[in-house]
Every structure is written in structure tokens, then in C-alpha cells.
């Protein structure tokens, strides 16, 4: 009887338990294979209209920012000024990407930015190599890469929305309220002091032209001015200046023009100027370089030299903003 029981146990072991153990051990031994998923990249791309080739290029955001920093600010500037510029450049591209969506900016459909001053200047690394010396590439390109990488993804927001971070070369001592230069009022683009611009070559500039040239240019563009060589001295008057010093209203004969009108007419560096007439010549003494709204680049560099970091600089020139990571 015992031997029959032993045979039964042996049969059970061989037919049921052993195969089960084998299957179990095989399960452990087999490596598991995960089915492939589609690759999702969260890298942001910027569509850039290249003026020379008249094509739209898709460029990874951080690469694009490097090409803007290298083109928009001297690479010899302080580290924190370059970091502030990197964040402003990134914010500008994202602001336009959000604002214009798939259609792109109307001036260059299908692209949120172009590579010129119309948006912000961008040059590829290859272009920079042909523009600059080998020493520049060796000394400054890694510096630009570093400032962009160290600020990776950071953008400026106001009440949670990405801002339009206007910037310019030199304010001339005080920046402008956005509505005094452009049509719209932005709460973060307020007139603020810009006390550290001494190194700018354009803190003060002079343009001298003959009174006849001035009269011809004004009359060609503003037919009703009625300016003549005889009445010019009594026909010019500055009626109003903005908080930042730009001329917002100026009597020019029978016309009322802005400093910006005169700036565009004569190619002046800024709309903040004084005029002196001496004999047959007129001297326009300008302060600053550019529209004067938002961050002053020379002011940013001066602040960095005086110990301010990129966050101090950005929060000085853009009021009430926060730094956030764009995803």
C-alpha cells in the first residue's frame, strides 16, 4: 500500500509540480520587454524667418537664444548683463510665439520672429564664425553658451503671463513709459532711472546739418509745415517731453510733430534731443540710443559692474515681474 502511495506521489510530482516549477523558474529567467512608445520631446522650437534665404527655419529655443545674445549685446559685457539679455531674448521669442500662434507674425507669416531688428537680431553659430575672429569664438562663444545654459528656460512674466520685454541700447539716464513711445500701455514698462550708462558711446551724440537741409526734409514729409529760411528760428518750439526726456510734442512751423518723427527724418539716435541754431547750421544733441523702453543694455552692464545680479537688473527695468520656467 505504501509503495502505491509513493508511486502516486511520484506521478503527481513529475506531472504537475515539476512542470509548474519549471514554468515559474522560466518566468524569472526571461527578461521582460517593454513595448515601444512614441518619443515625446518637450523641447521648444522657434520658427525664425531668415531674411537672406527668405525661408523659415525651426531652431531649438536655447540655440536660438545663444544666437540672439551674441548679436544683440557685446559679448565683452558682464556675465549678469548677458544673463539678463538671454532671459529678455527668450521671453521675446516666447511672447511672440504665444501671441501669434500657428499663423506667425503677420510681417513674416509662419514665423514668430525674423532674424533682423524688426524682432531681434539672430545669427547662427556659422554666421558668427564668419563675422568674428577665431579669438572671439574661443573667448566669447563659450561665455554666451554658459549664460544661456545657466538661465535655461527662464522667462519673465507679469501676473502669470509672459511679457513683451522691450530693450534698447542706452536710455540717456531714464527709460520711457511704453505709451509715451508706442501706443500701448504696459504696466511693467514704466519709466525708471538708468544711472549706470557712462560706458555707452551714445550717452550723448551730436548731428549737425544745414538749416536748408532740415527745411527741405521737413517740407518733403510734412507739406503743411510752411518752414522757410526766414521763419525757421521762430517756428520751432519744444512743447512737451515725456518722463524719460523724449520729445512728445514739438511745433515745427504749422505742424505739431513728435521727437520720433524728427528722429526718423534725420536718423537721430534718440527722440530725446536739444536743438541749437547757429548761423546756417543746426545742431541736434541727442541723449541715449534707441526707443528707451524697457531694459537699457548699457544700463544693465553698468548695474552688473556695480554688483547687481541678472534678477536685480531685470526687476529694475521691468516692474513687478517674476522669473518663471517656461514649459
Interacting residue ranges for Zn ion, rule: CB under 5 A: 114, 118-119
| C-beta of 118 vs 274, nearer to Zn ion | 118
Tell which phi-psi region holds residue 29, choosing left (phi > 0), alpha (psi between -120 and 50) or beta.
Answer: alpha
| Closest distance of CB 314 from Zn ion, Å | 23
Enumerate residues 6+ apart whose C-beta is below 8 A from 127: 67
Residue where the block lists cell 548683463? 81
| Closest distance of CB 283 from Zn ion, Å | 34
Q: Are 187 and 159 in contact (CB under 8 A)?
A: no
| C-beta of 83 vs 92, nearer to Zn ion | 92
| Calpha distance 261→259 (Å, rounded) | 5
| C-beta of 164 vs 180, nearer to Zn ion | 164
Q: Are 287 and 172 in contact (CB under 8 A)?
A: yes
| Closest distance of CB 62 from Zn ion, Å | 20
Q: Are 71 and 122 in contact (CB under 8 A)?
A: yes
Q: Is 18 exposed, middle or buried (0-12, 13-18, 19+ CB in 10 A)?
A: exposed
| Closest distance of CB 75 from Zn ion, Å | 23
| Closest distance of CB 122 from Zn ion, Å | 10
| Closest distance of CB 113 from Zn ion, Å | 6
| Calpha distance 266→213 (Å, rounded) | 10
| Closest distance of CB 117 from Zn ion, Å | 8
| C-beta of 127 vs 219, nearer to Zn ion | 127
Q: Which three cell numbers stand for residue 122?
A: 539672430
Smallest CA-to-CA distance from 161 within 211, 231, 208, 91 is with 91
| C-beta of 56 vs 275, nearer to Zn ion | 56
| C-beta of 31 vs 106, nearer to Zn ion | 106
- Residue 168's SS3 state is strand
Smallest CA-to-CA distance from 288 within 206, 202, 208, 207 is with 202
| C-beta of 108 vs 287, nearer to Zn ion | 108
Q: Are 72 and 101 in contact (CB under 8 A)?
A: no
| C-beta of 114 vs 192, nearer to Zn ion | 114
- Counting every residue written for the chain, the total comes to 327
| Closest distance of CB 119 from Zn ion, Å | 3
Amino acid at each position: 500500500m505504501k509503495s502505491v502511495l509513493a508511486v502516486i506521489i511520484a506521478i503527481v510530482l513529475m506531472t504537475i509540480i515539476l512542470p509548474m516549477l519549471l514554468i515559474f523558474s522560466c518566468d524569472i529567467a526571461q527578461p521582460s520587454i517593454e513595448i515601444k512608445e512614441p518619443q515625446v520631446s518637450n523641447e521648444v522650437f522657434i520658427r525664425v524667418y531668415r531674411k537672406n534665404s527668405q525661408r523659415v527655419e525651426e531652431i531649438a529655443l536655447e540655440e536660438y537664444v545663444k544666437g540672439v545674445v551674441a548679436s544683440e549685446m557685446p559679448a565683452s559685457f558682464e556675465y549678469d548683463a548677458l544673463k539678463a539679455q538671454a532671459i529678455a531674448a527668450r521671453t521675446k521669442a516666447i511672447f511672440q510665439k504665444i501671441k501669434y500662434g500657428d499663423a506667425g507674425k503677420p510681417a513674416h507669416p509662419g514665423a514668430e520672429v525674423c532674424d533682423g531688428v524688426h524682432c531681434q537680431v539672430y545669427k547662427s553659430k556659422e554666421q558668427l564664425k564668419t563675422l568674428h575672429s577665431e579669438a572671439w569664438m574661443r573667448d566669447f562663444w563659450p561665455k554666451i553658451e554658459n549664460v544661456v545654459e545657466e538661465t535655461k528656460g527662464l522667462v519673465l512674466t507679469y501676473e502669470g503671463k509672459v511679457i513683451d520685454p522691450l530693450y534698447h541700447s542706452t536710455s540717456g539716464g531714464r527709460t520711457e513709459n511704453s505709451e509715451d513711445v508706442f501706443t500701448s500701455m504696459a504696466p511693467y514698462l514704466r519709466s525708471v532711472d538708468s544711472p549706470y550708462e557712462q560706458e555707452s558711446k551714445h550717452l550723448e551724440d551730436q548731428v549737425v546739418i544745414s538749416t536748408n537741409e532740415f527745411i527741405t526734409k521737413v517740407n518733403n514729409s510734412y507739406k503743411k509745415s510752411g518752414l522757410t529760411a526766414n521763419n525757421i528760428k521762430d517756428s520751432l518750439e519744444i512743447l512737451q517731453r515725456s518722463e524719460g526726456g523724449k520729445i512728445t510734442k514739438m511745433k515745427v512751423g504749422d505742424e505739431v510733430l513728435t521727437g520720433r518723427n524728427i528722429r526718423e527724418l534725420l536718423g537721430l539716435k534718440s527722440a530725446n534731443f536739444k536743438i541749437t541754431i547757429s548761423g546756417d547750421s543746426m545742431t541736434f544733441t541727442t541723449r541715449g540710443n534707441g526707443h528707451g523702453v524697457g531694459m537699457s543694455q548699457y544700463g544693465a552692464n553698468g548695474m552688473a559692474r556695480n554688483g547687481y545680479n541678472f534678477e536685480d537688473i531685470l526687476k529694475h527695468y521691468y516692474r513687478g515681474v517674476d522669473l518663471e520656467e517656461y514649459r
